[in-house]
Amino acid sequence: MEMNPLKAKDGEKIALMGNEAIARGALEGGVWIAVGYPGTPSSEVIMTLQEFGAEIYAEWAVNEKVALEIGIGASIGGARSLVTMKGPGLNIASDPLLSASYSGVDGGLLILVADDPGPITTQTEQDSRWYGPLAKLPLISPSNPQEAKDYTVIGLELSERVQLPVILRTTTRVNHAIGEVVLGKISEPRKFRSFKKDPQRFIRAGMTWNLERHRWLNERLVEFEKLAESFSLNRVEGNGEKCIITEGIGYQYVKEFLLNKIESGEKFRILKLGLLYPFPRDFLRKALRGCKETIVVEELDPFLETFLRSELLTFGFSTRIIGKDSGHLPKEGELDLEKLRNLLLGGQNVKDRSLDSAVPIEVPPRPPPLCPGCPHRNSYLGILGGIARAGFSRKDIPIFGDIGCYALSAYPPLSAIWTEHSMGASISMAMGLKLSGFEKPVVATIGDSTFFHTGIQPLIEAVNKRVDMLVVILDNQVVAMTGHQATPSWTKTETGRDVKEVKIEEIVQGIGVDELKIVDPYDLDSMVKAVADSINKRGVKVIISRAPCAILEARRKGRPAYYTVIEDKCTGCLACLRATGCPALYVNEKGKVSIFEEDCYGCALCARYCPTKAIVRGDSVGKKD
């Protein structure tokens, strides 16, 4: 049996995660260039193309803006491209996005943006559907893994026919859902065809041209709406007077709840939208005729509901609209299944099942901690120790954080970072605080991939404006949080492509910082000293705290050692736990510390803090590793 989703045959039915289905769809749709920046819940698309050996260009870019511009460049040459990112990533890429609608494309260009209602792993509950009307680009939305694949193929085809990039918008429950997918035929990748000089199309400097291009864009959108009809992106199921407009994962919930009702002949009419922008007016004008009541089932903002309310007058008939603005469904979080069920089933004969459910047993929360042996733990202990050694209280020195695993340093016992805002914001926000008149030193901490992504420009700004700060670049040489993707410091990418290593220290020196040190955070004393020596100096001081991600290193090379507790020596003071918060440590039933030996990475940090030397290397007490 073929387990490789990229090699399985046309017509075969396999179980795929939504993102794997999009990867397969990319190959069925003839994509030649697939590029993105890692971001949950979008990362597995590129990862699948890499892992299962797609014979196309499938690589990570330094950030989403660059990724999209690569996609645009490839597509104006006639190649088909896929660009992937999470919701906030599209904010980074929004500049090229809004110009791409004016220049248009020749080869199909599909932009995957994955939102995260909940939010489960993302900083905001951004609703990227608004980018459809904002960028004036077609936006389509699949409901399940099968549609995720099919819409990828359709989106590429439509993009090429209408000459506009198409946004494929998904949410976590589609990206990370597994479902059966019937496969289609893989097409030959569409590579470069031609690129002709055409200033009016490709140069955005001329005002009169842009007005013309805007007119062209509006015409294309009308064309798109018509063309989309032939791909059946929107459809009607049932013919009752009680109508439901839905899209994305909302459709799956509606079907689940109404299935029996529909089968038993109750009159519901489901308007399932796959095309969300341009708002399918003509379709809805016909499909909504005769609806007495219309429930809008969508996650996050009342996006469809807003359009519907504004269009209703032009439709020339009235229907009561029930949704988020009407107060029936919440505007925050994932769709509440119980509320939705009650709304759809009319609140009658529907008991609140949660009343019958087990009373939850109160247990302590389990926020994700830094892994055992994580070099970031040492880096922050070094920073906090350095602040103390330089004579400051940790309460007085703000540590600006950035986006990545090291944001977990916000939790006790480290409680290190004071902010975590948006990609690359640590350095520039620290700068802003200093400029506001803050007199004590400030520390900005940023990971290596975040530094490459959007941290370089803030460093230029801080150096150029001569703002005093200590910048610590936490260099674990990988995009760790999203599943260990490549950074520009690699010499070979996941696909085996030989690439040139870009060195952070050379960038930092090139910018002209006042001081640069490279420290190994496992050498905690050196780290403390480096921070203490630099923190009070004038200018921009950079410490590159460099050690590879511990779990990745352990996967590649095996762990260097493991540690164990000599129970007789342990007094249960918990100094080790209080200092490190390492998840390989726990307090046993006797009130003493034990180590989950299979989880221990052997960094020895806990042993350093043990006043009675009760924590020792496992092999030193004769146990086998």
Using CB under 8 A, list all residues that contact another protein.
1, 3, 13-15, 40-41, 43, 118, 120-121, 144, 172-173, 176-180, 249, 251-253, 255-256, 259, 337-338, 341, 353-354, 356-361, 363-371, 405, 408, 411-413, 480-484, 551, 574, 577-578, 581-583, 585-587, 589, 596, 598-599
Of residues 69 and 299, the one with the C-beta less far from another protein? 299
Minimum distance of another protein from residue 502's CB (angstroms): 22
Tokens standing for residue 114: 């994955």
Of residues 156 and 606, the one with the C-beta less far from another protein? 606
Of residues 156 and 585, the one with the C-beta less far from another protein? 585
Minimum distance of another protein from residue 607's CB (angstroms): 17
Tokens standing for residue 407: 């944001």
Look-up: residue for tokens 């090229």? 96
Of residues 86 and 269, the one with the C-beta less far from another protein? 86
What's the maximum distance between 2 C-alpha atoms anywhere in the chain? 84
Comparing CA positions, the residue from 197, 279, 207 lying closest to residue 245 is 279
Minimum distance of another protein from residue 346's CB (angstroms): 17
Q: What is the full DSSP assignment across 31-89?
A: --EEEE---TTTTHHHHHHHHTT-SSEEEE-SSHHHHHHHHHHHHHTT--EEEEEEHHH
Minimum distance of another protein from residue 460's CB (angstroms): 30
Minimum distance of another protein from residue 15's CB (angstroms): 4
Angle at Cα 71 formed by Cα 70 and Cα 73, nearest 5°? 65
Element housing 297 (H / E)? strand 293-297
Minimum distance of another protein from residue 605's CB (angstroms): 13
Q: What is the 3-state secondary structure (H, E, C) of 106-146?
A: CCCEEEEEEECCCCCCCCCCCCHHHHHHHHCCCEECCCCHH
Q: Give the pairing of strands 585-587 and 593-595.
A: antiparallel
Q: Give the pairing of strands 399-400 and 443-447.
A: parallel
Minimum distance of another protein from residue 98's CB (angstroms): 28
Minimum distance of another protein from residue 351's CB (angstroms): 10
Of residues 484 and 608, the one with the C-beta less far from another protein? 484
Tokens standing for residue 101: 């609608």
CB within 8 Å of 245: residues ≥ 6 apart: 271, 273, 284, 294, 295, 296, 297, 304, 308
Is the N-terminal amide bond of 413 cis, ω within 30° of 0? Answer: yes
Minimum distance of another protein from residue 191's CB (angstroms): 31
Of residues 317 and 586, the one with the C-beta less far from another protein? 586
SS3 526: helix
Of residues 176 and 546, the one with the C-beta less far from another protein? 176
SS3 305: helix
Of residues 494 and 515, the one with the C-beta less far from another protein? 494
Q: Would you say how long the chain is, in residues?
A: 625
Q: Is 417 exposed, middle or buried (0-12, 13-18, 19+ CB in 10 A)?
A: buried
Of residues 73 and 118, the one with the C-beta less far from another protein? 118
Minimum distance of another protein from residue 237's CB (angstroms): 12
Minimum distance of another protein from residue 380's CB (angstroms): 15
Are residues 479 and 60 in contact, defined by beta-carbon separation less than 8 angstroms? yes
Of residues 187 and 594, the one with the C-beta less far from another protein? 594
Of residues 362 and 396, the one with the C-beta less far from another protein? 362
Backbone φ and ψ of 390, nearest 5°: -80, 0
